[in-house]
Amino acid sequence: MDARRLRARCSAVTAIALVCCLGLLCACSSSSSTREKEDATTQAVVPRTVGAADDLQDGYLKVIKDVLPSVVQIQGQSDLGSGVVYDDQGHIVTNAHVVGDEKTFTVTTANSEKQFSADLVSSYPQQDLAVIKLADPPDGLRAAKFGDSSKAEVGQIVLAMGSPLGLSSSVTQGIVSATGRTVTEGSDDGGTGATIANMVQTSAAINPGNSGGALVNLDSEVIGVPTLAATDPDLGGSAAPGIGFAIPASTVKTIADQIVQDGRVTDSGRAALGITGRTVVNDDLRAAGVAVVEVQSGGAADKAGLESGDIITRLGDTDITTITSLSEALAADKPGDRTTVTYTRDGSEKKADVTLGEQ
């Protein structure tokens, strides 16, 4: 599935409406006692239905009040995105593609016109995450609460908060559409080309500028960072409505904690084969595998006996046709996992057991 980064250069407005439809009781003729019973039934039903709608609306309002102050707008020299306050020290987590190659930024907090300067702490494009830090954190800066993204369930109501199309402090509503998605980001127009596992798919509207913001459950917990919107190749690469992806909170916390504590990522938790490769095509010009261009000395592939020129066609039970499919297969594994690599050498198919390394 194609996906694209989310940045902003224009403006639009998204509105959300909750509509509660009440059933109407009607009869052509009835006795007085029957009408009294119907009236009593109607009076009993209406408060319960209205009450349920009010409870849901109150729940939305509480979540927005709890979390929106922790969602900021990040402005670089040319592009704009969102971020989430990570702690009371002024650290803000966002996407690597939001910060790009820049080192300094202007941050605007929710419901405020005051701007603050921030500096890059570190960027980790392999997971499309970065942390920046406010130079002078304001009093009362509120850190968001990150939840357990492994508990996200399909059908769960979520809110997406950020600055879509430059409209700061915007909120859209939807559900968790799927979990456990592995998605590869494009590398054009400043994209990182990252392959990210376990992403949360959502129907909440995700637009350019939402990148780096918050995907929030009704317990006021951030369960993901909106990062990608699906594109429809049949529509010339236009966004596919209602299909967006967020990096899970578990990944965000793992990467952000290391950057905050050590200034960089020291343990990626991502499996690696230890090769440089490229996609090869067959006689029909179809992608047919990954050619090993270089083998990292002492890496997983080197220890398994792979050589430059080998063509990888399978990893475990997954067919490998492109460098992207290899990245996605590795994203599903962990460092130290044992698997089998199927490859061809001089026209002959071979297999090798391999213990995966770490990126």
From CA 203, how far away is CA 177, in angstroms rounded? 6
The sign of the CA dihedral 159, 162, 166, 171 is positive
From CA 242, how far away is CA 107, in angstroms rounded? 28
Please give the pLDDT value at position 188. 72
Computed on alpha carbons and rounded to an integer, the radius of gyration of the chain in Å comes to 25
Which residue from 256, 320, 265 is spatially nearest to 290, judged by alpha carbons?
A: 320
Please give the pLDDT value at position 42. 47
Which residues are catalytic, by number? 97, 128, 211
DSSP one-letter code for 220: S
Q: How many helices and strands in the chain, by DSSP H and E?
A: 5, 21
Strand partners of residue 83: 72
The sign of the CA dihedral 204, 207, 209, 211 is positive
Assign domain 1-7+31-267 one CATH number from 1.10.10.10, 3.40.50.920, 2.40.10.120, 3.40.50.2300: 2.40.10.120
Beta strands in 233-304 (DSSP E): 238-248, 271-272, 275-281, 287-295
From CA 33, how far away is CA 27, in angstroms rounded? 13
Using 70 as the pLDDT threshold, list the residues of the chain that sit under it.
1-50, 189-190, 235-237
Please give the pLDDT value at position 23. 31
From CA 105, how far away is CA 347, in angstroms rounded? 53
**Complete DSSP assignment for 288-346:** EEEEEEEE-TTSHHHHHT--TT-EEEEETTEE--SHHHHHHHHHTS-TT-EEEEEEEET
Q: Is 147 helix (H, G, I), strand (E, B) or coil?
A: coil
Please give the pLDDT value at position 114. 85
What are the φ and ψ backbone dihedral angles of 339, each rounded to 5 degrees?
A: -150, 180
Asked whether 179 and 200 are in contact (CB, 8 A), the reply is: yes
- Domain layout of the chain by residue ranges: 1-7+31-267, 271-358
From CA 325, how far away is CA 290, in angstroms rounded? 9
DSSP one-letter code for 203: -
Task: Say which residues have a Cβ less than 8 Å from residue 262's Cβ, sequence separation at least 6.
Answer: none
Q: Is 163 helix (H, G, I), strand (E, B) or coil?
A: coil
From CA 225, how far away is CA 210, in angstroms rounded? 9
Which residue from 78, 65, 113, 110 is spatially nearest to 92, judged by alpha carbons?
A: 110
Class of domain 271-358 as given by CATH: mainly beta
Task: Say which residues have a Cβ less than 8 Å from residue 137's Cβ, sequence separation at least 6.
Answer: 88, 89, 90, 116
Which residue from 53, 52, 46 is spatially nearest to 19, judged by alpha carbons?
A: 53
From CA 183, how far away is CA 230, in angstroms rounded? 10
Q: Is 56 helix (H, G, I), strand (E, B) or coil?
A: helix
From CA 333, how far away is CA 329, in angstroms rounded? 7
Q: What is the pLDDT of residues 69-113, one digit of tens each?
A: 999 999 998 789 999 999 999 999 999 999 999 999 999 988 777
Containing 227, the helix (H) or strand (E) segment is strand 222-232
Please give the pLDDT value at position 187. 76
